[in-house]
Amino acid sequence: MKILVTGGLGFIGSHTVVELQNKGFEVVIIDNLSNSSEAVFKGIVAITGKQPIFEKLDLRGKASVQDFFKKHDDVSGVIHFAASKAVGESVTNPLLYYENNLSSLVYLLQELEKKEEANFIFSSSCTVYGQADVIPIAETAPIKPAMSPYGNTKQIGEEIIIDVAKVSAINAILLRYFNPIGAHDSAEIGELPIGVPQNLVPFITQTGIGLRKELLVYGNDYPTPDGTCIRDYIHVVDLAKAHVVALQRLLNKKNLDKVEIFNLGSGVGSSVLEVITSFEKVSGKPFPYKIVDRREGDVTKAYANTDKANGVLGWKTQLSLEEAMASAWKWEQKVKAK
């Protein structure tokens, strides 16, 4: 079976391609290389020994999307990662986010709604919950007004899919990620932030390798045990495997509704200081950081209620925070060595 992975050379996308190939799927990748490189393609092949098909194209080009589906009319499922995902950038450049994240989704869905059967997995985010009132966060938690245009594109994207699924043969699963971290244990693929990392773990590993002087911890006056924010950090390989499980659910027609929603997290909350401690353990050296003011838009606490993912989807995380930090560190050292 041929599966389309858009953004398949990105961080989560590339790890998902590996897991799809491991399960015997034929993969075609669409990527415009705006936030990835062909080196990632080589990394995938180095791990699995299998060549995905790679189509370099920008999903903002409606005609390109149409041509793609004429050429690849045997796609059985689509996993849609391709999107811009930097929260801060989305605030300063909202139209880039609305055009890239939404027009690409619309053009994809316009092709899928023509099919007699279409299976669609959408990369969403726990950011749709904002600061949830009940923690751990279940899929029934109310959607809060988005804190950024990035978060808004995820909310609007979900609504578009729900509306289209009602009037087409499209079956969809929306996967709301918590905080993806780490890398494949081969260190052939991993997170490749462009410029100064906005996310915690790549900033930590770049500091550990000497690329950054110290980590600025954004606030330790939150109402949490050690005062720093709490998040649900999930190993990217666990997250990738969840996408294959979700896809197989649709291919095997096990879905109970036209659109299903699952929170993908470990169910464990870790504070910034706990993540730092974990890194010190795996790197074997003290870690330089400084407490500074809070970052605008940060929620105090967010971690997943995993009952539905475990009980209905039949997936749960297997890897610990420490294993994720060790894999992120091994990857950073490999990148440095290149």
Residues serving a catalytic function are 150
Is the Cβ of residue 165 or residue 215 nearer to ligand WQD in the bound state?
A: 215
Give the residue with the Cβ less far from ligand WQD, 41 or 203: 203
120/233 with CB nearer ligand WQD:
233
User: How many CA atoms lie less than 13 Å away from 268 in the CB half-sphere?
Assistant: 14
Q: Going by C-beta distance under 8 Å and a sequence separation of 6 or more, which residues neighbour residue 63?
A: none
Three-state DSSP class for 213? coil
Smallest separation, CB 179 to ligand WQD (Å): 5
**Is the Cβ of residue 69 or residue 129 nearer to ligand WQD in the bound state?**
129
Q: How far is the CB of 258 from ligand WQD (least distance, A)?
A: 24
Name the residue with tokens 């793609």.
68
Beta bridge partners of 177: 125, 264
User: Which residue lies nearer to ligand WQD by CB, 15 or 52?
Assistant: 15
Residue 138: CB minimum distance to ligand WQD, A: 18
Closest CA to 264 of 230, 247, 240, 248: 240
CA distance 190 to 335: 9
Which residues are at the interface with ligand WQD (CB under 6 A)? 85, 87, 125, 127, 177, 179, 198-200, 203, 215-218, 229, 231, 272, 295, 298
The nearest distance, CB 229 to ligand WQD, in angstroms, is 3
**What's the CA gap between 266 and 317, in Å, rounded?**
6
Instruction: For 123-137, give one letter per residue: b (16+ CB within 10 A) or e.
Output: bbbbbbbbebeebbb
Q: Give the residue closest to ligand WQD by C-beta.
A: 229
Helix (H, G, I), strand (E, B) or coil at 174: strand
Let me know: does 139 contact 304? Beta carbons within 8 Å.
no
- In whole angstroms, the minimum distance from the beta carbon of 264 to ligand WQD comes to 11
Terminal Cα-to-Cα distance of the chain (whole angstroms): 35
Find the helix or strand (DSSP H, E) in which 122 lies: strand 118-125
